[in-house]
Structures are given as C-alpha cells and as structure tokens.
Amino acid sequence: MMNRFFLAVLCVLFTMSSSMAQKHTFTVNDTAFLLDGKPFQIISGEMHYPRIPREAWRQRMKMAKAMGINTIGTYAFWNVHEPERGKFDFSGNSDIAAFVKIAKEEGLWVVLRPSPYVCAEWEFGGYPYWLQNIKGLVVRSKEPQYLKEYESYIDRLGKELSPLLVTNGGNILLVQVENEYGAYSNDREYLEINRRLFVRAGFNCLLNTCDQSKDVEKGILPGLLPAVNGTNSPDNVKSIINKINNNKGPYFVSEWYPAWFDWWGEQHHTVPSEKYAQQLDSILSAGISINMYMFHGGTTRGFMNGANCYDTSYYQPQISSYDYDAPLDEAGNATEKFMVFRGVIERHLPKGQRLPEVPATKRTIVLPRIAFKEQTSLASFLPKPTEGLRPLTFEDLHQGYGYVLYRTRIKGGDSGVLRLKDLRDYAIVFINGKRKGVLDRMQKQDSLWLSIPRGEATLDVLVENMGRINFGPNLLKNKKGITQEVLFNQKEVKGWKMFSLPFDRVDSVKFAKSGGVTEMPVLKKAVFQLEAVGDTYLDMRAWGKGCVWVNGHHLGRYWEIGPQQTLYVPVEWLKKGNNVIEVLELLKPGQNEIRSVEKPILSSLRSQ
C-alpha cells in the first residue's frame, strides 16, 4: 500500500511539473516577438559551448545576466557531435543539452543555430571532415548522399534538444535553419528540404533564416522568420525586413557585431566601445531584437579553427584565441565594452527591473618558471605507416586534424627544386633529419631548392592542417596534406610512407631525459606545482610554432608570427599540487623554458 501511495504522489508531482514546464508560449505579431502574449525584445549574447570549459558555462551566463542579456545564442557544431561517421558525442564539453539547461537555471532563454553549416571561424564551417570521403557528396546542396548524412545528424541533434524547446516546456525560443545561405546560393527547394528536416527532427517551434543585408532576398524561405546580419541602422533593418515580409516584423538582427575575429599574420582587431554604444542604443530604442556576435568568444582549442579563403589567391587560418574584442574577454571577465553596453541596456529595461551586480574579476596567477627536463623527438614515436605510390591526403588516411609525416627515399648527389603541388597547408622539409626549409600556403610557397647529399637520402615532409576553409565557394576544396604530386627537378617522386599524427592525445607518448641535439620537431613534458590556482596565460614569445596541453587539455596553437603570443589556461583546468604540461614544438627544438603572464598578448606581430 505504501509503495502505491508513493507512486501516486510521484505521478501527481510529475504531472504538476510537466504542466508548469509548458506554461510559456513564444509567437509573433506584425511588429514584435510575443512571450506569453506580451511583447518581448530579445537581447541575446552569442557564446559557444565548445569554446568555454564546461565548468565555466554557468559563470559566463551569470556575466551575461549582469550585462543585461536575456538570451544566449549558440551554434550547434556537427563536427563536434559526429567527429567520425555514425559516432555521436554529446558528453563533457560537447553536452549542448546541459549548456541549454544551465541557461534555463540562470533565467536565460536560448536562440539555437544548428544550421548545420555554421561558419563561426570554425574548422570546415562545422562540417565533419569525413564528408569529403564520400565520393560525389556536395555540402549545402540537394545531393542525396549529403542529405542522408545531414538528416542522420539533425535527427540525432533533435533527440537531444527538442525536449528543451519552449513549445515543450524548455527555454529554446527560436531555431535557425541554414546560415547566411544567401551568400552562397539561392535554391528555395534546398531551403525547403532544410525546413522539412528540422520539423521532422522535432524542432516544432518558431524557425528563422539569417543573412547579410545584401543577401537576405536570396536566403529567405516563405513561412520562416527572416533575420538580418551585420547592420546597425534601425531604418535599414526595418526596410529590409518590410520589403520581404509584407511590411511585417518582428525585426531581428541575428548577428550584431561589437568587434571582429583574428587570423595569423594580421593585426588584432579591436573596435572602441563608444563606436557601437550609440548604435546599440538606437537599435534597442527602435524595439529591434538582437543577437550580439560575440558577447563572449572564448578559445578555439585543439585544431578546430577555420580559415578565410574567399578566392584562390590567399589563405588565412584563424588564431586560437577567439577573444573577438567582445564585451566579455577570453577568460570571462568584464571589459570596458561590457560596462558601456551594460549602461546602454540598463536604460532599456522594463520599469522596475534591475540588473544584478557585476561579478568580480577572476583571479589571475603567474606560474613558476617551468623548465622542461623530458622530451622526445617526433621521429621516435611514429606509428605504423600507410604506404602508397603517391602521397595520400589526410582524408585518404581517415585523419581529420593535426599532422602527417610523409617519408620517401630519394637518390642523392643532385640539386634542384622540390615542389609540393597544392600543399595544404604548412610543411617542414627534412633531409636525413636535417631541416632544409619551410613551405607555407599563407605565403603561396610550394617549392624550395634542395641539395641532396651523395648516396640515398631520406626525405621527410611534415605537413600541418592549419584549418579548413569555413566560408565562401572554396568550402568544397578542403582536403588537407599533400593533395597532388611531389616533384623534384620536375620529375615525380614516388614511393611514400605516411605517418598519421593527429595529436588527439599525448598521454601515451614515452619521454626520456632531455639531451641530444635534433632538428626534428619535439614533444616536451614538465610537471609544475601550484599552491593556489587561477587563470593564467602561457607566454610563447620565445617559442616557434606548435601547440600546448595542460593536464591533458589541448589549449590551442601558438606561432611566433602573431598576433597571438599567449595561450589562455583556464583556472578550471589547473589544480593544487602537481600539474602536467606538454608542448609540441616544430621549429625551435632547443627551447626548454616557459613562463606565464597575468594578461594576454594578442596584438604582437613579427615578420616571417
């Protein structure tokens, strides 16, 4: 009897909680969004769950509330959730449902942007690399193989997120279909397929498109809410939307930019807060909803940065810091821009509403000087190679990211030009373990002069994937490695061994005491102790090029050319007592010391 009683009580409680969860409605009229039937102005701040340590999601959201943000915008990243075909991951830092639920707990709504193409200065615009291994597949098209993989992914994403829609009692107000499609094409049938796939996956809520102002008419689909990106003029926003939406709103700027992102070899972008404060005020005064891109950028860790390549004349891989000169800096602290924007938003709060106090700036520490006493040459931990007559791409090797070492034997006693046709993206060339030069796609370099010593020599070419293109027509030209033939003195070099070095983890590498001289890249390891933890920034100015792990977390890439010269180490990834740091150094194997600083260095360029 007692068990039945408790079961009955649980059923009643479940029914009550379900009815309470479904109390909100989100609709539109001719001028505004309506939350529970009342006008609601979305003031959204974009931040991306993979760019923030999971342990810090809540802190970043509290900061959003303190600036006056009422909604969080985020993309969903296909290559994060399906890194290999059919193998889905929604755990740890990839747990997007947990991210949305924490937002709800903090009193924030969510604008979801699954696309599945996201751009976002993210590797391949969010597409998983393995799509390129399916012969004939064409992304962002009606090609059947693409639609099949797309449907599989969006269905799986729907299982995670459809219960969190406002229509189902959750806090996701709005879901975006595709992403700036008008800048790419204008196929309405393709957009309609997108809409149907979203609805079938359970996204039974208000759906929208988004496009740059000049492309809106090409990227809209009747029945979906149109939104405009990248404009600060209220009159312009309303004129564009009225023209395509029969003089109706609501009016939504789905990407309102307070600043911009950075790429290697170019100056750090900053925009004074005063420049945009007045524009923010005017756009809010006009009742227009916005999604601030970015409110908080965070860090593009690992090898997940994308690259600019609007035509074939240049290639610009983005840096690991996604600071963006955003209101909330890379570590999650309020900037001057944050305080100025907070003041603007505060003037537009509903009567009687007050903003929370701004949380204190997080603690920053300086690490003790770290000396590396263990290291191993890259040549000493090569895996079993794949062999082929000609070089294979990363995709051919079923490898998404990192590095591939291409090795062959070459007849000596000759000099000439070595050419790597269509190199993607960065290569270091060695003869018998001696470095002979660097080739860089950024610099349009694919050739160098080589003198081969007498006898048979070993030619090694270490190639780095510096990031797949994330925007524009070259999205379809994204294979990595040596993508065509290798020529020496205009004759093809054949007979290659290819060693996959994805560097997805480093804990299985065996180290030895530092010693011996090598020109090959090295992996170094050290242990440092902390009595107290805090955020810090590794100072990489004395180093050449590579990446860093702390306690197993990949912090991102560094490169002496700048503008980024530090790597952010979140407090959440440090601990009292022993901490482990590993550095992969490609160009300066003799460097053996690292220091940290209290503030990031994001604007220091050096000539190449």
Active site residues: 180, 255
Q: Report d(CA 382, CA 394) in Å as an integer.
A: 16
Is omega for the bond preceding 250 within 30 degrees of 0, making it cis? yes
Name the nearest CA neighbour of 212 among 245, 254, 270, 259: 254
Name the nearest CA neighbour of 587 among 521, 534, 499, 504: 521
In 432-506 the beta strands, taken as DSSP E runs, fall at 434-440, 447-452, 456-464, 481-482, 486-488, 491-492, 496-501
Which DSSP symbol is given to 319?
P
At 523, which amino acid appears?
A: L
3-state secondary structure (DSSP) of residue 352: coil
Q: Report d(CA 270, CA 278) in Å as an integer.
A: 17
Q: Report d(CA 229, CA 18) in Å as an integer.
A: 36
Token reading at 593: 């010391």
At 285, which amino acid appears?
A: S
Is omega for the bond preceding 211 within 30 degrees of 0, making it cis? no
Contact criterion met (CB below 8 Å) for 461 and 410: no
Tokens 């924490």, residue? 102
3-state secondary structure (DSSP) of residue 13: helix
Name the nearest CA neighbour of 254 among 63, 112, 158: 112
| Length of the chain in terms of residues written | 608
Q: Work out whether strand 545-550 and strand 553-559 pair parallel, antiparallel, or are unpaired.
A: antiparallel
3-state secondary structure (DSSP) of residue 213: helix
Contact criterion met (CB below 8 Å) for 406 and 460: yes
3-state secondary structure (DSSP) of residue 103: helix
Between the CA atoms of 110, 112, 118 and 120, what dihedral angle is there, to the nearest 10 degrees? 0
Chain center to CA of 208: 22
Tokens 């209290």, residue? 598
Which DSSP symbol is given to 586?
S
- Start-to-end C-alpha separation, the chain: 80
Token reading at 323: 């600071």
3-state secondary structure (DSSP) of residue 430: strand
Token reading at 605: 């360029």
Q: Report d(CA 332, CA 361) in Å as an integer.
A: 8
